[in-house]
Amino acid sequence: MTSLLTILFNGLAYGLLLFVMAVGLSVTMGMMQFVNLAHISLSMLGGYVMVWAMDAAGVPFLVSLLLAFGACAAFSVLLERLVLRHFYGADDLTQVLLTLGLLFMSIASVAFIWGPAFKPVTVPSWLTGQFSLAGLQLERYRLFLLVAGGLLTLVLVFTLERTRFGAMVRACVDSRRAASGSGINTDGVFALTFALGSGLAGLGGAMSVNLLSLDPNFPLRYLVYVLIVVSVGGMGSITGSLLAACLIGVADVLGKYYLPELGGLFIYLLTVIVMLWRPQGLMGRAA
Amino acid sequence: MPALGAGCVCFPTTFLSQHKETTVQLPIQRRTTIRLVVAAAGLAISAMAMAQETIKVGLLLTYSGSSGVGGQLADHAIQLFQKKYGTTVAGKKIEFVKRDTTGPNPEVVKRLAQELIVREKVHVMIGPDFTPNVLAVAPLVTEGKVPTIQTGAATSGIVGERSPYFLRTFFSIPQLIRPLAEWAVKNDLKKTYVVVADYGPGHDSEAQFNKAYTALGGTIAGNSRVPVRNPEFSSYMQRIKDANPDAVLAFFPLGELVPQFLKAYANAGLKDTKIKLIGTADMTDEGLLDASGDTSLGVITSGPYSDAHDSPENKALVADFNAVASKIGRFNASAVAVWDALRLIYDGVAAQGNAKFDPDKFMAFTRGHSFDSPRGPVTIDKTTGDITQNIYIRRVERQDGVLKNVEMVTFPNVPAK
């Protein structure tokens, strides 16, 4: 029983991390039908910004996380204005090829700037080691992921459901033409959403460094997981992404614990089953 | 070069002119002169060609991608070696032709090997790294009769089996696993949990360890095979905790899985228990130690080479290397394998003297050849061409602020099989 609870805890923390990395992609895909595979490169950028800030500038851990968020949001605005917006009307294949190219460029650029080796990170001592809770030995860093991920989810849901900006975003996701017709500056809304989503990707990437690992091949390793979260959750749905991320996280650790022979195959099976049952994703609406 | 050419020309021309004068009666002076000039020119050209014969060494290593550091380290090792021992052997110039394998990529590597052998006409090859790449080039190497020295593939059953032209200066998995199992049993580690990456060399390590360890009386407490693309280790850590072993044997390919595993191991609190973490040299390779950081402290591995190996040659080599390449990485087991591959090539070419390079004579010489490597004494096995070397049991410690594999126990002259 204690094993099961520990594993659930680990899986949820992992799931929330995936959620933070993927939610931006889900919203922008739902809103603009723009397939941005380079989203995961922003997570890598966030990781490098954080490690660089901590190592070279001596910035404390939590501040460097915010820096990663800010840097990725700012960089994505540049990317959106200079490159991506010219391809909003393009077909899926063009978008996929373009952003895949950007992804490979990001790998080469990062290797050139920061070198091809793995980048270690040292988190503050209050985030290392374990703590006891009701007889369970749990990892402090995963608790941090759970708390941070949970707070972010609340803020996101509140922003989308309760604020004027949120209403505009929802309107754009529902029907961009109708939103535009009723006077919403859809370009502006999209740019801001894109920046927010990219900032979150950077933040997720930065938070992941201590749990996963950081090197220039980061995007190739984690792209699949982010895409699974988006497609299982349903494009454009925050709660869907959250549900999918937690499901994938928990299923992954449970599968590896109870059915180690299946190894990493478990989550792919789960993805196939969900996709057969609901091709539009758990919370997505049928086209 | 010109002086040598001229010297060679003089002797045969005088000899020729005497010869002509005695056998040909009353030769026409002018014709003889022309003949002499032609003969002299021809001889001069062939003499110059003799002096300039080059030995082409094909390098099939990874220069880009996630393992790209390996190729760059090899390049620096080669530069350093040539600086120390020169660029010519027995009057033959040693030249290198590089090809980038980009990683475990058998189809690409097959094409590159063909290019090196057929178009570039290389005499010897170093590489390729990664077992699947080695298997792909085996038939080409045999057909082209190109001695090929493995510096980065550790699977058993390649060298001495797949091609008669394979040699290895790296290490083999059983060569590391057997001493490790012996050490574990001697040090009262009776129950071991085995975690390996779910691919060929991982299965190889698992099987070798199970065999050696249980034969010595150890018990396998459990085992896990981890997918090669695996970002999340917590379930495996929980399985280890449940099994409560004396030791954990871990095997992962050089790459992201090693620091990930070590981090997960520390985060799960296993590092603070009495459980000992043991593994092959890959777990604490000098190329990964700094990235793994303190999570690798205390890890016990068996390996052929540590940059902390205590010998004057090694200390000088590491100092020279760090002076030029410390930004790229640290001297490690594959860099020393490249270093020793060059030693084999230099010794093998020198042994053939002025004669044209003969691959079979090269193989006959190198098999059974012993020499002093920066890692200690090594011998290339007479029948297989694989390496026999000392295997050290090391522990990761921090020395002068740097994480190092500190050698504790030496198993002398361990064969590869």
**B235/A10 Cβ within 8 A:** yes
Residues of B in contact with A141 (CB under 8 A): 267
Phi and psi dihedrals of A152, rounded to 5? -60, -40
pLDDT grade for B9, boundaries at 50, 70 and 90? very low
pLDDT grade for B41, boundaries at 50, 70 and 90? low
Give the helix ranges, DSSP H, for B167-273.
Answer: 173-186, 200-215, 234-243, 257-267
Contacts of B367 (CB under 8 A, 6+ apart): B167, B380, B381, B382, B383, B385
Q: Which two tokens stand for residue B181?
A: 């199992």
Which has the higher per-residue pLDDT, A116 or B236? B236
The ipTM, to two decimals, is 0.85
Q: What is the mean pLDDT of residues B66-88?
A: 91
The CA distance from B336 to B73, in Å, is 10
**B49-63 per-position pLDDT tens digit:** 455 589 999 999 998
> Which residues of chain A have a pLDDT value below 50?
none
Q: What is the mean pLDDT of residues B60-77?
A: 87
**A210/B263 Cβ within 8 A:** yes
The pLDDT score that the predictor gives to residue B76 is 94
pLDDT at B26 over 70: no
Could you give the percent of chain B with pLDDT greater than 70? 87
Q: What is the mean pLDDT of residues B355-371?
A: 95
Q: Which two tokens stand for residue B161?
A: 């089996």
pLDDT grade for B328, boundaries at 50, 70 and 90? confident
Q: Per the omega criterion (within 30 degrees of 0), is the bond before A219 cis?
A: no
The pLDDT score that the predictor gives to residue B40 is 60
Q: Closest to B232 (Cβ–Cβ): which among A3, A137, A252?
A: A252
Residues of B in contact with A255 (CB under 8 A): 235
The CA distance from A142 to B130, in Å, is 35
Identify each DSSP E strand in A112-236 by its residue range: 130-133, 136-139
The pLDDT score that the predictor gives to residue A66 is 96
Which has the higher per-residue pLDDT, B78 or B45? B78
The pLDDT score that the predictor gives to residue B52 is 58
Which of B203, B226, B235 has the most A C-beta neighbours within 10 Å, making it the best mutation to test the interface with A? B235
Q: Cβ distance B291 to A117 under 8 Å?
A: yes
The pLDDT score that the predictor gives to residue A103 is 96
Q: Phi/psi zone of residue B122: left (φ > 0), alpha (ψ -120 to 50 degrees), beta?
A: beta
pLDDT at B23 over 60: no
Q: Which of B377, B320, B350, B306 is nearest to B77 (CA)?
A: B320
Q: What is the DSSP letter of A175?
A: -
Q: Cβ distance A136 to A2 under 8 Å?
A: yes
**B145-157 per-position pLDDT tens digit:** 999 999 988 888 8
The pLDDT score that the predictor gives to residue A287 is 55
**A260/B239 Cβ within 8 A:** yes
For chain B, what is the mean pLDDT?
Answer: 87
The pLDDT score that the predictor gives to residue B35 is 62
pLDDT at B5 over 60: no
A118 interfacial to chain B (CB closer than 8 Å): yes
Q: Give the relative orientation of helices A238-258 and A218-233 as an angle to the nearest 10 degrees.
A: 110
Q: Which of B336, B338, B277 is nearest to B302 (CA)?
A: B277
Domain boundaries, chain A: 2-116+140-222
Q: Closest to A7 (Cβ–Cβ): which among B66, B224, B238?
A: B238
Q: Which of B86, B52, B219, B160 is nearest to B416 (CA)?
A: B160
Q: What is the mean pLDDT of residues B173-184?
A: 95
pLDDT grade for B68, boundaries at 50, 70 and 90? confident
